[in-house]
Amino acid sequence: MKNLIQMAADYPAVVILLKAIGVMLLAYVAHVLSKKYLVGLVTVITSKSRNRWDDILAERKVFNRLANVVPAAIIHVFAYTFPPWEGIISRISLALILLMIVLFLDALLNALVQIYNTYEISKHKPIKNYVQTVKIIIYCMGGVVIIAVSIGRSPALLLSGIGAMTAVLMLVFKDTILSLVAGIQLSYDGMIRIGDWITMPKYDADGDVVDIALHTIKIQNFDKTITTIPTYKFISEAFTNWRGMVDSGGRRIKRAVNIDMSSIKFLDEDLKEKLRKADLLKEYIEQKDKEITRYHIDKKIDKEDKISQRRLTNIGTFRKYLYYYLKSNSRIHQGMTLLVRQLPPTAEGLPIQIYVFTNDNRWANYEEIQADIFDHVLAVIPKFGLKVFQQPTGSDFKKLAV
């Protein structure tokens, strides 16, 4: 024993080296045991549990991050065994402990977001932007404390120095502050949710919202590209959210066909009889004939007085036919607005506009329904003695030349 004491006195550097090796070996063994057994045991328990949230904690390696504190804590506990460097080792190991705690909190917050996203409310009230704000605060405060511990100064002293740089910090974190305020307003008002169909022409955005973060909102366009837009832009600039249309169960068709006004005329008896054969118009024409006859009798209008007489027109009958056609269409939403109306005449003819809602708002189905309707409209127009207006084409000029 005396020889060992004498050797320690003669070779202090060797003793310090042996102590260091011993402490490092102890820290390594503790690290391995905590990772292999403690974390392993927790992983086994969570895998057998019916709860989803503990599986997410394991997937996010929350327990692994916490286990990383063990070796740093052991070094900090045995720092007193190195008198010359006790203070330095103690501060560095404490800084490492704080760093591991910050990383643990980061992993824990990520897990909490993932757990929250498993609930239906997450689609209406996303919290990712708030969590990212908390992360920034944790990293900033953690960084200040770690630096203060490392240099042996009070964190309050560093914070007072940072206070003098407030203007600079406001400039550096301008976008973060704007995005945080915008995120709170968007979430509170329910202006944007995950899965909403958003259009923002200025940024060529037309698709579904797939992610709402602190600084950005990601939109997957219908061509599968991703558009990333700063969060605060949704407060300062205009955008369209189609959620109301989707939730209503109907999607609007608003399209007009221009009728050549030179083809508009009163119905003669031949054309009236042809149209009377249409199932959708039979009752209407009979009712109008009775109404017109009664009017002529009441007003004592002479049969030769063509100006004072009331008569059916091909354009009015066509408009009524479209109304009945849409009312009988099973793919048109009958509980929403249904209009067939004339718009003001233009140099391109008389617009007859269809204003209805389909009962299927899926894009492909909606386009098919709309196309089927106007296929029929364009094909049936000549049956009423009407013509569709279109600009003269090359073949029209060739006919003139002949």
Residue among 384, 361, 388 nearest 374 (CA): 388
Q: Domain 122-127+153-248 belongs to what topology?
A: SH3 type barrels. (2.30.30)
Strands (E), 260-333: none
List, in order, residues 6 or more apart from 81 with CB less than 8 Å away: 19, 23
pLDDT at 388: 93
> What secondary structure letter does DSSP report for 336?
S
The CATH class of the 251-399 domain is: alpha beta
pLDDT at 378: 95
pLDDT at 281: 92
What's the residue count for the chain? 402
Residue among 375, 334, 373 nearest 254 (CA): 373
Q: What Cα–Cα distance (Å) separates residue 278 from each residue in 1, 153, 268, 270, 354?
A: 120, 94, 16, 14, 20
| Model pTM score | 0.56
Q: What is the rounded distance in angstroms from the CA atom of residue 176 to the CA atom of residue 174?
A: 5
pLDDT at 134: 84
Residues of the chain with CATH 2.30.30.60: 122-127+153-248
Q: Which residues does residue 358 pair with via DSSP β-bridges, in sequence order? A: 251, 332
User: Helix axis angle, 69-77 relative to 12-33, nearest 10°?
Assistant: 150
Structure tokens at 153: 């100064």
Q: What is the rounded distance in angstroms from the CA atom of residue 165 to the CA atom of residue 158?
A: 11
pLDDT at 80: 63
Q: How many helices (H) and strands (E) does the chain have?
A: 18, 8
26's enclosing H/E stretch is helix 12-33
Q: Using an 8 Å Cβ cutoff, are 215 and 179 in contact?
A: yes
Q: Using an 8 Å Cβ cutoff, are 115 and 56 in contact?
A: yes
Three-state SS at 299: helix
Place of tokens 């329910």: 190
pLDDT at 295: 83
* Per-residue pLDDT tens digits for 152-192: 777 776 666 665 566 666 666 677 777 777 777 777 667 88
Alpha-carbon torsion 183, 185, 186, 187, what sign?
A: positive
Low-confidence ranges of the chain (pLDDT < 50): 1-5, 7-11
pLDDT at 117: 81
> What secondary structure letter does DSSP report for 313?
B
Q: Using an 8 Å Cβ cutoff, are 226 and 218 in contact?
A: yes
Residues of the chain with CATH 3.30.70.100: 251-399
- The maximal CA–CA distance of the chain, rounded, in angstroms, is 144
Place of tokens 């932007």: 129
Q: What Cα–Cα distance (Å) separates residue 78 from each residue in 13, 32, 69, 74, 82?
A: 17, 18, 15, 6, 8
